[in-house]
A and B are shown apart, each in its own frame.
Chain A
Amino acid sequence: MAEGRVTSSFRDPSGYLFTHQGKIYRQINNVYRKDYDHLIESGLYDTLVQKKLLVPHSAATNQLAPSHAYKVIEPERIPFVSYPYEWCFGQLKDAALLTLEIQEIALQHGMILKDSSAYNVQFLRGRPVVIDTLSFARYREGEPWVAYRQFCQHFLGPLAIMSYRDVRLSQLFRVHIDGIPLSLASALLPQRSRLNIGLLTHLHIHARAQNRYAGKSVQRHGSRKMSRRSLRGLIDNLAGTVGKLRWRLPKSEWGDYYHDTNYAATAMRHKQQIVSTYLDAIRPQMVWDLGANTGVFSRIAASKGALTMSFDIDPVAVEQNYNRCKREGDAGVLPLVIDLTNPSPALGWGNQERMSLPQRGPVDTVLALALLHHLAISNNVPLGLIARFLGSICRSLIVEFVPKTDSQVQRLLATREDIFTEYDRGHFEAAFAECFIVEDSVPIEESDRIVYRMTKRA
C-alpha cells in the first residue's frame, strides 16, 4: 500500500485518510474540532458503534499526521473495499436504509449527516457500515438536510431504476461517479413509477425542480426554515419509499446452475473435498471466488476462516448469495457483481478515487472453478492471457480445467464454430506453467474435469 494521503480522500476539508507503515489513519482538521467533539460527547459515536452502524476507531498519536491536526484516529480496516456498481440490489437497499437510520439517530443526538454518499458505506463482517467518521455535523434548527440531493442520486434513483426498469442499470454508477443524475433516473423510469408518491416527489418532481431553478439564485437564509418535524418527516418518507422498493428475482441463466449441470452428486461431492483439502494446504486469509454463482465453494473457504469475496457476473446469483448470507448470518462471505471480462476499472478524479479490481489485490488465493471454459470459449480469451490475469491478482490458485468432452463445453460449442484448437489439457498446463508452479492436481470422479493447486511464480 502506498504511503501518504489516500487518493480518494480529498473532498471534505474536515480531514482525510492517510496510510503509515501499512496502517490506515484519519487526520481530523481543526475546522472539524467542534463537530468531532460533539460526535463523541453527545454519545452518538458510542451509540452507532454499539449498533454496528459506524466503523469503530481508536485514538492514535498526532505525530503521525502529515500536517497540523486536531486529532488522528485509526479506524478499523475494511478488508475489502467494494463499490456501489459491484453491489446487488439488496446491498444497495441495505446501504440506503443504513444511511437513513444513522441520520435519524444522529438527529436525536443533535447532529445530521452532511454526506450521504454510497461510497461512505462498506461491508464489514457481512453488514453495511458507514466508514466516514467525519460525515456528521451539528444540527442547526431550521436548516434543511444538506445531503438530500446526494441521497436521491446515490440511493433512491439507482434503486428505483433497478427495481422498475432493469437491475443492470446499477452499472450507471460507473459513469456517474456522484450518483445517477435525477433527470436521467426520471427519464429511465416508466410512467407507472409516477403512481408511487415517493418516487413522484423525490425523483420526478425533484428532477423538474432542479431544471426549473438551475442558474437561479434563492435566498437560503432568512424566512425559509425547515422544522425538525419536517426533517424527520422527510427522512421517514424516504425510508418508507426505499423500504417498499423490491426487485423480484427472475429466473436466470446461472441461478439454477447447480441444478442444471451434468454433475453427478458424487462428482460435486468429490470436487468439494478436493477444494477443501487444497484450502487446508494453503490456509489463505482472504479468497476471491471468481464465478462463484450462489457461493457454494465460497462457503467452504469461509468455513475455514478465510474472508471470501464471492464474485459473479449474474445479479440474480449475487442477490441469492447475499440473501443467504443475511439469512444465515454469514459474515465471512461478501457477494459482489463482477464481470471478469471487464472488471471494475480505476475511476474518478485522476482515475484515482475508486480502485480497479486488480488494484485491490493481490489476494492470497483465487478459486477459479468451472470458469475457464466460459472465458476461453464464450469470450475467446486465450489461455495465456487468462493465466497472466490470474497471476496478477493472486499468490495461489485453485483452478478447474473443463475439457471439450464435457457436456458444459459441448453446450457452449453447439452454437459456434470450434476455433479453439488449443483448448486442451496440454495447452492449458503449458499456458499456466508460465505464471504458476503446479503443486498438485486431482481428476474429479465421474467427470473429465481436473482441479489444480498452483502457486504463483516469484
Chain B
Amino acid sequence: MRRRVLRMLILFAIVSYFWPSEARAYLDPGTGSYVLQLVLAALLGVAFATKMFWLRIKTFLAGLLSKKPKEK
C-alpha cells in the first residue's frame, strides 16, 4: 500500500514539474495550498489508516508475546 502511495506521489511530482513556476504566488498563495492539501491528505489518510492498522497488529502481537512468560 505504501508503495502505491509513493508511486502516486512520484507521479504527482512529475506532473507538477510541468506547471509554470516563474510566477510568484504572493497575491494568492491560499488557493494552491487548499487544492494541494486536499489531494495530499487523501493519499496520506490512506497511508495513515494503514500505519494505524499495522500498529494495532504489532501491539496485539507484542501483547501476546509478553503474556507468554507469565503463563509459564
Contact = CB atoms under 8 A, between A and B. Distances in A.
Contacts of A214: 23, 25, 27-29, 31-32
Given A205-B13, A206-B36, A209-B16, A233 B23 contact: no
A217, A226, A230, A232 pick with most chain B CB within 10 angstroms: A230
Chain B residues touching A, range: 35 or more
A226 B38 CA distance: 6
Interface in B3-55: 6, 9, 12-13, 16, 19-38, 40-49, 51
A220 B35 CA distance: 9
Main secondary structure of the interface of A (DSSP, over half): helix
A139 to B, nearest CB: 14
A117 B13 CA distance: 28
A234 B32 contact: no
Given A181-B24, A229-B49, A233-B48, A148 B37 contact: yes
A273 interface: no
B16 A208 contact: yes
Interface string A178-222: 000111000000000010010011101111111111111110100
A378 interface: no
Contacts of B49: 229, 233
A234 B48 CA distance: 8
Contacts of B42: 226, 230
Interface in A379-408: none
Contacts of B40: 201-202, 234
B29 A181 contact: yes
B36 A209 contact: yes
Given A144-B37, A183-B24, A205-B12, A213 B31 contact: yes
Interface of B: 6, 9, 12-13, 16, 19-38, 40-49, 51
Given A214-B23, A234-B45, 5 more contacts: A144-B41, A205-B36, A208-B16, A211-B32, A215-B27
Interface of A: 144-145, 148-149, 152, 181-183, 194, 197, 200-202, 204-218, 220, 224, 226-227, 229-234, 236-237
13 contacts: A148-B37, A181-B26, A182-B29, A201-B36, A205-B12, A205-B13, A209-B35, A209-B36, A214-B25, A214-B29, A226-B37, A226-B41, A233-B45
